[in-house]
Structure 1
Amino acid sequence: MNINSTVISGYQALNDIRYLLNGKAKALLVTDKNIESIPAVQALIAQLKQQIAHVSIVNNVPPEPSQHDVAAILSALPSRDVDLVIGVGGGSVLDVAKLLSVLCVKNAPSLEALLAGEKPQHRTTSLLIPTTAGTGSEATPNAILAIPEKETKVGIISPVMLPDFVALVPELTTSMPAHIASSTGIDALCHLIECFTATVSNPVSDNYALIGMKKLFANLETTINQPGNLQARLEMLWASYYGGAAIAHAGTHLVHAMSYPLGGKYHLPHGVANAILLAPCMRFVRPAAVSKFAQAYDLLPEADSLLSEEAKSLALVDYFTALVKRLKLPASLEELGISPDHLPYLVEAALDVQRLMKNVPTAVSANDVRDVYLTLFPSHQA
């Protein structure tokens, strides 16, 4: 899959997008109210209104949107006749912007048709501007929607949704609270390590994953401890972008398959669900991916080059466990007050995410999935 997006990046990079707006008559800006209030976003809106005759703003994209949320946004649009869609926000906002870019064209398939598997053929021009460093949505062909009736999430996937332009602007991420920066950073890490170890990994996705992990390992905790460090924040935006690019060329596996039901049933934020699952899932996968785990370990700033591959792979899992703890993210479902009563449902729902389960580098049974989930309930383990 080719990613043909033009990427602009750096401090105040939004000052350089005027040329992208030339010739556009009707723009749709997709965001949420918190992001809309950021001064740099207000400046962007002013620039849009100065250059483009008709600018509509959707500012009510919720976290973890459902298909009903997107349907409501569509029905409230004054017009679908737009020639530029701009998404400014986290992964949920960018996913909705990508969907609107293919739904706001002539003869577009319906949202229901997309959910049923029909592929879009065209999109309007799109610009995606992430304000979190985690989902990498700006570099993936995916839009993830919650399906409340089934208590899970589904992915609408098409390379047509990849944007024309991406802007990586570090000052837009400084408004993130530390817990959001932590959980979205772990989401990016999951994308990178899962794609790197997936059955569908390849030299292209591996290259993205290795570059992204090196940037993430060196900068994630700096962005938490030094919120104003714009260079570290830009590096994290690139780590997130590379995670998305790795997804576009390979795919995630066990962590994401098992986190979707947690988001669907308990409405856990995606990054939090991934953080809880990261170490347990990687501990299960490790024996089938020792060499790749060792390569990832070697990217750590504190890596010990004298260790054997086996020892490096074990040390990487230990690093994941310690990282989640240092970032003060939950390490179990139990501490969130969630009961193990729903284990049978969770196991079945996770196994049902076959598009991801087939990427796991080892065979996975229902008992395996149950055993991993059980580690999230320490006091209920046999």
Structure 2
Amino acid sequence: MNIDSTIISGYQSLQDIGYLLAGKRQVLLVSDKNIIGLPPVQSLIGQLDNAGCEVSIIDSVPPEPNQHDVAAILKTLHQPQVDLVIGVGGGSVLDVAKLLSILCAGDETVTLDSLLAGEKPQHRTTSLLIPTTAGTGSESTPNAILAIPEKETKIGIITPVMLPDYVALVPELATSMPARIAASTGIDALCHLFECFTSVIANPVSDNFALVGMKKLFASLETAVAEPENLQARLNMLWASYYGGASIAHAGTHLVHAMSYPLGGKYHIPHGVANAILLAPCMAFVRPSAVNKFAQAYDLIPDADRTLREEEKSHALVEYFDALVHRLDLPVKLSQLNITPDDIPYLSQGAIEVQRLIKNVPMPVSKNQIAEIYRSIR
């Protein structure tokens, strides 16, 4: 299977996608109730109708979906096999769309339970992913993340088969994001980019993606939050998010994401918010092991002081991360989320168990050290 996505990008780039619809009869459109009524989405549905497609619409994907949510969606489908899956929404919607592109491909031996058990599918139906937030980069990763309530954690279903045929980066769809969502998802994208850049399995491909993405993000994140109708800033953030996902596909995140997982799994803290709280303290811990890369990233900040020595730049980047989260008015303490010191042992155990990410940290890290980081932001 070809796993290289074709990217459609720019203002009004969804106005004519008839060439994608040739031969597609059964189409499944996956979204949520906040997105489905937006004019560009309604225009897309009109194109599908005009092309003679039979369109099934799922607009009930919740934030941070769990396996029961996906199972419930599967039960509502009148057509278990489709020709095209279109996902329009944030990372949760796109993750569910990716799973449905496999589960609606006609192979009855592949089920949600088998995917959760680690089965690697061989096929999916044609897919088009259209992000409306700029953070998860789900459109460029082979991952779909589901909450598992019974275990109070999240699990990643990972297979390159989920990479879509087509991705559309459409800035006018991102203008509907509230400022707080734009801020937290932007920090999520930053974590993807920088964690992959400093991961022990970073490589020239992931480094290139991360450097390009960070340059776009540092130049555009605060503008995108403050000026929601600024289409160039929104497009830059969509690209930064895409590059963050591509970095994940070629490398992997580490400490911030490992420590944010139990915050989301048990306490239902939004992923970007959890990452924002953890970004500066985790990177202060990691900094001594990756001074050169910290300095490289610092030099991408538009108003960076490039006269600093490398060590000074690495400290300045951590300070920048902390100041950025404050400027974006995101939480910086666990107490702001009603997390108490009594919760730290559970959080520390949950984080250290995410070994697929912990093993990417560029220095050894123990459960006690993780607990100390949590305590530093209590």
TM-score, normalisation: structure 1 = 0.97
Structure 1 partner of 2:287: 286
Superposition pairs of residues 187-206 of structure 1, within 5 angstroms: 187-206=188-207
Report % sequence identity. Answer: 72
Superposition pairs of residues 1-382 of structure 1, within 5 angstroms: 4-108=4-108, 109-377=110-378
| Structure-2 separation of matches of 1:299 and 1:16 | 36
Which amino acid is the alignment partner of residue 265 of structure 1?
A: K
Structure 2 partner of 1:380: none
Offset of residue 254 of structure 1? 0.4
Q: Does the residue aligned with 1:126 lie in a helix, a strand or coil?
A: strand
| Structure-2 separation of matches of 1:144 and 1:45 | 27
Choose 82-91 or 37-46, whichever is displaced more. Answer: 37-46
Counterpart contact for 1:146–1:153, Cα < 8 Å: yes
Which amino acid is the alignment partner of residue 201 of structure 2?
A: V
RMSD, matched Cα: 1.1
Offset of residue 344 of structure 1? 1.2
Offset of residue 106 of structure 1? 2.1
Offset of residue 2 of structure 1? 8.5
Offset of residue 337 of structure 1? 2.0
Where does the alignment leave 5 or more consecutive residues of structure 2 unmatched? none
| Structure-1 separation of matches of 2:349 and 2:114 | 25
Counterpart contact for 1:135–1:184, Cα < 8 Å: yes
Choose 332-341 or 210-219, whichever is displaced more. Answer: 332-341
Which amino acid is the alignment partner of residue 328 of structure 2?
A: L
Counterpart contact for 1:263–1:269, Cα < 8 Å: yes
Offset of residue 359 of structure 1? 0.4
Q: Does the residue aligned with 1:8 lie in a helix, a strand or coil?
A: strand
| Structure-2 separation of matches of 1:254 and 1:92 | 22
Which amino acid is the alignment partner of residue 305 of structure 2?
A: D
Which amino acid is the alignment partner of residue 104 of structure 1?
A: C
| Structure-2 separation of matches of 1:145 and 1:342 | 23
Which amino acid is the alignment partner of residue 373 of structure 2?
A: V
Counterpart contact for 1:285–1:362, Cα < 8 Å: yes
TM-score, normalisation: structure 2 = 0.98
| Structure-2 separation of matches of 1:266 and 1:2 | 39
Which amino acid is the alignment partner of residue 52 of structure 2?
A: I
Q: Does the residue aligned with 1:258 lie in a helix, a strand or coil?
A: helix
- Give per-residue Cα distances to partners, 1:154-177, cap 9 Å, x unaligned: 100000000000000000000000
| Structure-1 separation of matches of 2:376 and 2:80 | 48
Counterpart contact for 2:191–2:256, Cα < 8 Å: yes
Which amino acid is the alignment partner of residue 77 of structure 2?
A: L
- Give per-residue Cα distances to partners, 1:332-380, cap 9 Å, x unaligned: 1112222121211111111111111110000010111101111121xxx
Where does the alignment leave 5 or more consecutive residues of structure 1 unmatched? 378-382
Kindly tell me the number of residue pairs found equivalent between the two proteins: 377
Q: Does the residue aligned with 1:122 lie in a helix, a strand or coil?
A: coil
| Structure-2 separation of matches of 1:340 and 1:74 | 40
Counterpart contact for 1:197–1:289, Cα < 8 Å: yes
Q: Does the residue aligned with 1:154 lie in a helix, a strand or coil?
A: strand
Offset of residue 3 of structure 1? 5.3
Which amino acid is the alignment partner of residue 76 of structure 2?
A: A
Counterpart contact for 1:26–1:52, Cα < 8 Å: no
Q: Does the residue aligned with 1:35 lie in a helix, a strand or coil?
A: coil
| Structure-2 separation of matches of 1:329 and 1:248 | 28
Which amino acid is the alignment partner of residue 350 of structure 1?
A: A
Which amino acid is the alignment partner of residue 10 of structure 1?
A: G
Q: Does the residue aligned with 1:55 lie in a helix, a strand or coil?
A: strand
